[in-house]
Structure 1
């Protein structure tokens, strides 16, 4: 327990140490008294244009809070964010992370469940570095789609494996399937549906309502996380773990057309271009 608590402290220390080194966005500087720092920020973020930035800020200042919430673009941004967070949670990530040892125990893998959980944790840490270099090369939408496809493949195979085991089929020759499936699942999740819903949410909302809209979206996301974490175990005991993974994979299937048709691609676009796309 003490070792676990020590490990939990490290992310907080990392955040405190590097928080003060983070660069504010030009959009923030231009809407604050630190206007002279805008030029410095623009030198770091070449893609932002000062003229577009000033126009965006003026438009925001001309609107009241109620006017902004009535706009088509903001409503669309809010719906996109909420739906992406829903798909993120119903991909089953928190069920996998919280119950990984139980999953391995019920799957009767050749490795110890604790060892499998450590392997999954290492994969999760290692693949956290995959998305940043890819997201601005490939774009948000394509990473979300490939992320969903990877999760579908892994969860369907894991569902079939647990279904066969629950129906007294001999799966000893393929006992490696659960660990392979969950490794693929973590890689797929971390490359798309893990970080990108949060990234896209931050890019869609104007700064005047970003704090409120983001807070509501995040609260909704963690409420879903609570529900899935609380009820995954009893539901799995009722309908079978295989069926639970089939449900999660079905949610990932539904997410693909949504990402293709409705998610706004923000790669390489200014804030004004994103808002124009949202208001179409």
Structure 2
């Protein structure tokens, strides 16, 4: 047995592709899916604008338009309900693969749609796949990645959203909506191929007792150096111990026990606020209604599609900066910088819009509200877009991550539907300026709660984070032996 293991080690060491590149390949499959998710969210911004034209092949009412933009939120709920069971029973890889199928089917149906019903069904299929992936993405990336690369890889989720929104609006500007849909849907084909090239995650294989496959998968992702081998053995031994020592109780009692654990319910409450903040900041409203929103902000001084692409470029450039900033600065610092910039910019943009409406701004400067509006896009993309997804990959103990992601993701889905569905009515009744004020107030309220609830997670092991929620103090910084112990426990929890 030992001889065969030695031969396996030699074979793995001979591979020329570094562990980092293998992890990057696996993460790229999830990233491509999230690019498609960004395109899903932003696509109504060009679809609805083209369908409003007199010669459009599909005629829509304002009610149809709001449902086409918001039905993703309802579909997300169904996908997120299924996700924890799929992740636990089918595994990370198969869940990622299956989530691409309804998304591809949705885009295919959208390409051939001849009426509002087909458009709604296609959007629902896209949203169901998004729901599966919304819960699966942080879990998959965290388990694909080694601890030193985990933060950087989790930050790519925000980048993927922004890039997908830019892709959808560029294709929608250059192409008719049917070929634009075909181009956007190709992201899921690439995602399926990339995910299929990588093995199942080692922690999942260990959790279901497939230890030989777990060893192969772990070495594929991490290599065979001494530290990696030690981490692998700690993970396997911990899993075997948990299997032999776990008492046999009913699933209901087990669920009640989990819900009562502070290391579960405290992170869940925090993620609820994080995802409410994510949606109430206009994260999905702006891409869906960029053209009419920016048309009012610019008062017609800038061509609508030009202003839409201005927003997309600012969002994309900021997302690139966020990937770097999230790894350099504390999570709380980045989040609250984003919140403060967003709130100030929204109130300032609303004030300028009110002043313009009452004639206090000369005609030559009617475009001036564009500046704080773009600052708002910068602020929410810098802090409010990436931090919830980075925190979601760190804040839950891996034993409860599927369940915690599912419950907190329900709030993401519900708020998605509510905010996007009510946005057209809000724009009509109180205008863009009034809507900006509402968003600014809600962001400030959520930010206030998170200021007291959210701990700093950067630079902490998973063990330290869990101890924080349990109310247990650690002396990791002053005791070297205890530090080594916590590092081993972190590796266990990564499994």
| TM-score calculated relative to the size of structure 2 | 0.50
Partner of 2:341: 150
Contact 2:279 2:415 in 1 (8 A): yes
Q: Residue 354 of structure 2 is aligned with which of 160, 163, 188?
A: 163
Q: Which runs of 5+ in 2 are unaligned?
A: 1-176, 248-253, 472-495
Q: How many residues align?
A: 280
Contact 2:301 2:367 in 1 (8 A): yes
Say whether residues 1:254 and 2:430 are aligned partners.
no
Contact 2:335 2:384 in 1 (8 A): yes
Rounded Cα–Cα distance in structure 1 between residues aligned with 2:445 and 2:183 = 37
Structure of higher RCO (CA pairs closer than 8 Å, 6+ residues apart): 1
Partner of 2:367: 176
* Greater Cα shift, 106-115 or 202-211: 202-211
Q: Which runs of 5+ in 1 are unaligned?
A: none
Partner of 2:288: 98
Rounded Cα–Cα distance in structure 2 between residues aligned with 1:220 and 1:228 = 12
Q: Aligned runs of 1:175-194 on 2, under 5 Å?
A: 175-194=366-385
- 3-state SS, counterpart of residue 111 of structure 1: coil
Partner of 1:31: 207
Rounded Cα–Cα distance in structure 1 between residues aligned with 2:234 and 2:390 = 21
Rounded Cα–Cα distance in structure 1 between residues aligned with 2:186 and 2:379 = 25
Offset, 1:137: 1.7
Partner of 1:78: 268
Partner of 2:159: none
* Greater Cα shift, 51-60 or 32-41: 51-60
Partner of 1:140: 331
Contact 1:163 1:240 in 2 (8 A): no
Partner of 2:388: 197
Q: Residue 427 of structure 2 is aligned with which of 236, 248, 258?
A: 236
| TM-score calculated relative to the size of structure 1 | 0.84
* Greater Cα shift, 248-257 or 18-27: 18-27
Rounded Cα–Cα distance in structure 1 between residues aligned with 2:460 and 2:236 = 16
Rounded Cα–Cα distance in structure 1 between residues aligned with 2:303 and 2:263 = 51
* Greater Cα shift, 208-217 or 51-60: 51-60
Offset, 1:222: 2.1
* Greater Cα shift, 158-167 or 23-32: 23-32
After superposition, what is the alpha-carbon deviation per residue over 1:160-214, rounded to whole angstroms, capped at 9, x for unaligned? 1222233344353433333323322222222221122122122222333322321
Contact 1:29 1:38 in 2 (8 A): no
Partner of 1:2: 178
> CA RMSD, aligned part only?
3.1
